[in-house]
């Protein structure tokens, strides 16, 4: 299959330093609100890239659940592949790609677990099916069949019928505290706009333009 000639022409917008907020969290919030206004499908979908202590990388799509000036929060099974890798190597990268707006945001930084109270508060507002799924899935472990998983879910539905479902001890949240942000806007002729924020020792942000 020839794919080398499948190239999109980017022409929606540009990204200039003069229009950029000095705070990357504010800038991200502006872009995120624009994705919501554009009715994009799951605008909070993001790639999470992690690595083992030996530097072997892995990546997967997950969902962002909240963000503020302290960082970006997501939830998962602590015993999953990403959970094990974050325990070995807490440095990770997030990538948001909003194709319809010809935009990408890359965020890298250190990841730490959120408090147990925060994880439990979020777990309580999840749909019941998602709560049971967290108990039923030993994420990233080999299972014999789809039926095995569905039978486990049926058992959990019976066990917790008319009962509050507790937060699994092996499940909870992580917060990535950014050290750099890169905002990317597609432009014609592959001369894309790339503007990077780097956190300085005094917690101010240095903004630099990168060559595409």
Tens of pLDDT, residue by residue over 89-138, are 999 999 999 999 999 999 999 999 999 999 999 999 999 999 999 999 98
- The pTM (predicted TM-score) of the whole model is 0.92
Q: Which H or E element spans position 105?
A: strand 103-113
CA 51 to CA 57: how far, in whole Å? 4
Q: What is the mean pLDDT of the chain?
A: 95
Query: Is-contact 111 91, C-beta < 8 A?
Result: yes
190 is annotated as an active-site residue? yes
What is the predicted pLDDT for the residue at 11? 84
User: And the tokens for 151?
Assistant: 């039978």
**3-class secondary-structure state, position 179:** strand
Question: Which residues, listed in sequence order, are joined to residue 71 by a DSSP beta bridge?
Answer: 68
Which residues of the chain are modeled with pLDDT < 50?
none
What domains can be seen in the chain, in order of their start residue? 17-210 (2.30.110.10)
Angle at 128 between CA 124 and CA 133, to 5 degrees: 100
The string of DSSP codes covering 133-163 is: HHHH--TTS--S-HHHHHHHHHHHHHHTTTS
CA 125 to CA 189: how far, in whole Å? 46
Q: Which of 103, 60, 116 is nearest to 83 (CA)?
A: 60
What is the predicted pLDDT for the residue at 108? 98
- Cα dist from 163 to 23, 50, 117, 128, 158, whole Å: 45, 36, 20, 11, 10
6: CB partners within 8 A, 6+ apart: none
Q: Which of 43, 41, 137, 123 is nearest to 75 (CA)?
A: 123
The active-site residue out of 112, 116, 124, 190 is: 190
């Amino acid at each position: 299959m020839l794919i080398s000639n499948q190239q999109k022409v980017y022409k929606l917008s540009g990204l200039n330093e003069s229009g950029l907020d000095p705070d990357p969290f504010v800038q991200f919030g502006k872009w995120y609100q624009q994705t919501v206004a554009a009715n994009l499908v799951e605008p909070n979908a993001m790639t999470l890239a992690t690595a083992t202590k030996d530097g072997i990388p892995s990546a997967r799509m997950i969902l962002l659940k909240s963000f503020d000036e302290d960082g970006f929060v997501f939830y998962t099974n602590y015993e999953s592949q990403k959970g094990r890798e974050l325990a070995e190597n807490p440095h990770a990268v997030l990538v948001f790609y909003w194709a319809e707006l010809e935009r990408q945001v890359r965020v890298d930084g250190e990841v730490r677990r959120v408090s147990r109270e925060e994880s439990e508060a979020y777990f309580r507002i999840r749909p019941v099916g998602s709560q049971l799924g967290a108990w039923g899935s030993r994420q990233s472990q080999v299972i014999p069949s789809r039926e095995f998983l569905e039978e486990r879910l049926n058992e959990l539905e019976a066990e917790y019928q008319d009962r509050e479902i507790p937060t699994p001890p092996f499940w909870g949240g992580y917060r990535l505290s950014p050290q750099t942000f890169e905002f990317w806007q597609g432009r014609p002729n592959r001369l894309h706009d790339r503007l990077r924020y780097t956190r300085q020792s005094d917690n101010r942000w240095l903004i630099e333009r990168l060559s595409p």
